[in-house]
Amino acid sequence: MSKRIAIIGAGTAGLQLGLYLLKHGVTPTLFTDRRPEEYSGMRLFNTVAHHHVTVEREDLLGCNHWPSDEFGYFGHYYYVGTPQPLQFYGDLVQPSRAIDYRIYQPKLLEDYISRGGEVRYKTVAHEDVAAISSEFDTVVVCTGKGPFGEMFKKVPALTPFDRPQRALCVGLFKGVGPTQTRAVSMYFSPGAGELIEIPTWSFNGWTTALVIENHIGGDLEVLANTKYDEDPKAFIKLLLDKLRKHYPTLAERIDEQEFDLANGPLDILQGGVPPSVRESHALLDNGKLAIALGDVQATVDPVLGQGANMASHAALILGEHLVTHDVYDKRFIERVDNARNDRVLGATRWTNYMLNSLGSLDPNLLQFIGAISQNRHLADEFTENFNFPELQWDCFSSPERIQAWIQKRLSGREDAREAAAA
């Protein structure tokens, strides 16, 4: 008897899980309320870069339609707007890549359908899960919409904030000139916010995603509260003013005549993300296991671009376990959690640390930034480790660790470590 897996939600985690299962002979049932052709008319979902570890998973799944030699970016520029500004660059070992999710997700949904995946187009509510589960061996919940999260209790020790830590303004723009190397640029304006610029492929080709992370109560918060639709020209003028003031090296590359939302008024999203970690599963009254995946398990602020990447990681770990195990119970989820959680929790803890420390100008973080700004090897490693948030957490989880990370590398002990591990 073949395995019966329900996947509720057709985001990146759900789609990649579905493709993984199909590849391994299991035909899941995907619940979504959106057909492939409906995506293009939607408001921007978010602005997501796929780190190369995620791109490698797409290669494995046969769903990488945007090869990195054409669509990839190659590193991170960093700009720190301290009184003596710092500018530096770090390389990625392999290119990463950002595609508008209104293109990416329907394409993966088409892949899924064309390979024989089952889809039920319907709106599923939280209270439908128990009934759905009776048809299936297990139910994977990976839609963050609505109250699904309430099925899975928040884990207080891993949920340090009870509200969003940034007032977000996220959009796809045209009129931003290219950087020397195609790369993400990360800008820090102490006391005001952070801005992540991501070269992103969208409907009209290359555009620039600006993820504008504004400190609550700071000079930039207005960007999250001012509506583009009410007066597009006024909004763009306000944005340009703020960019010139807080992110001057970005403003320099902007053609002010052309600068606007890339495809039209749906290319902007404003609000905030309350970071949370939830229990990885729930036992339903009928004894079936409901498994939290992606944003449902752990929601992060987008400042470090970890959300989709940890969701993709967790999706493939879950897929491997669904394929190789037969009983979906507490022992099953224990194994899944053992395999997925160091990265998932590493991503959330590192992101929460950075939100906090960028806000408070933690001297340990400033020292770290100072050190990597002076040493390209360190900047490269920090940049590459966006792929491996558990390694970032190894570095940032205490002041002693930050010191040890820097000292080891500056004293050449890294070489000794690598020799030892070989």
Binding site for its own copies (CB under 8 A): 24-25, 320, 323-327, 329, 331, 335, 338, 341-342, 393-394, 397-398, 400-401, 404, 408, 413, 416-417, 419-421
By beta-carbon proximity to its own copies, the closer residue of 180 and 324 is 324
Smallest gap, in angstroms, from Cβ of residue 115 to its own copies? 15
Dihedral sign for Cα atoms in the order 265, 271, 274, 279: negative
By beta-carbon proximity to its own copies, the closer residue of 120 and 330 is 330
By beta-carbon proximity to its own copies, the closer residue of 216 and 323 is 323
User: What amino acid is encoded at 420 in this protein?
Assistant: A
Smallest gap, in angstroms, from Cβ of residue 397 to its own copies? 4
Within 10 A of 329 (CB to CB), how many other CB atoms are there? 14
Beta bridge partners of 83: none
- Residue in this structure with the two tokens 């916010």, named with its chain if needed: 193
Please list the alpha-helical segments (H only) found in 178-255.
222-225, 232-246, 248-251
**Contact, 141 vs 296, CB < 8 A?**
yes
Smallest gap, in angstroms, from Cβ of residue 301 to its own copies? 21
Please list the alpha-helical segments (H only) found in 228-329.
232-246, 248-251, 307-324
Q: Environment class of residue 295 by beta-carbon count within 10 Å: exposed (0-12), middle (13-18) or buried (19+)?
A: buried
Smallest gap, in angstroms, from Cβ of residue 384 to its own copies? 17
Smallest gap, in angstroms, from Cβ of residue 338 to its own copies? 6
In the Cβ-directed half-sphere of 69, how many Cα atoms lie within 13 Å? 0
Smallest gap, in angstroms, from Cβ of residue 281 to its own copies? 15
Smallest gap, in angstroms, from Cβ of residue 53 to its own copies? 19
Q: What is the largest CA-CA distance in the chain?
A: 66
Smallest gap, in angstroms, from Cβ of residue 138 to its own copies? 13
By beta-carbon proximity to its own copies, the closer residue of 4 and 401 is 401
217 — phi, psi (to 5°)?
A: 85, 0
By beta-carbon proximity to its own copies, the closer residue of 52 and 343 is 343
**Contact, 343 vs 310, CB < 8 A?**
yes
Smallest gap, in angstroms, from Cβ of residue 326 to its own copies? 4
- Contact residues for 320 (Cβ-Cβ < 8 A; gap 6+): 20, 339
Structure tokens at 232: 């597009």
- Residue in this structure with the two tokens 């909004």, named with its chain if needed: 235
By beta-carbon proximity to its own copies, the closer residue of 248 and 399 is 399
Strands 260-261 and 167-174: antiparallel
180: helix, strand or coil: coil
By beta-carbon proximity to its own copies, the closer residue of 24 and 153 is 24
By beta-carbon proximity to its own copies, the closer residue of 69 and 326 is 326
By beta-carbon proximity to its own copies, the closer residue of 188 and 393 is 393
- Contact residues for 356 (Cβ-Cβ < 8 A; gap 6+): 160, 165, 362
Structure tokens at 106: 């329907």
- Residue in this structure with the two tokens 């602020």, named with its chain if needed: 301
Smallest gap, in angstroms, from Cβ of residue 422 to its own copies? 10
- Residue in this structure with the two tokens 């870069």, named with its chain if needed: 49
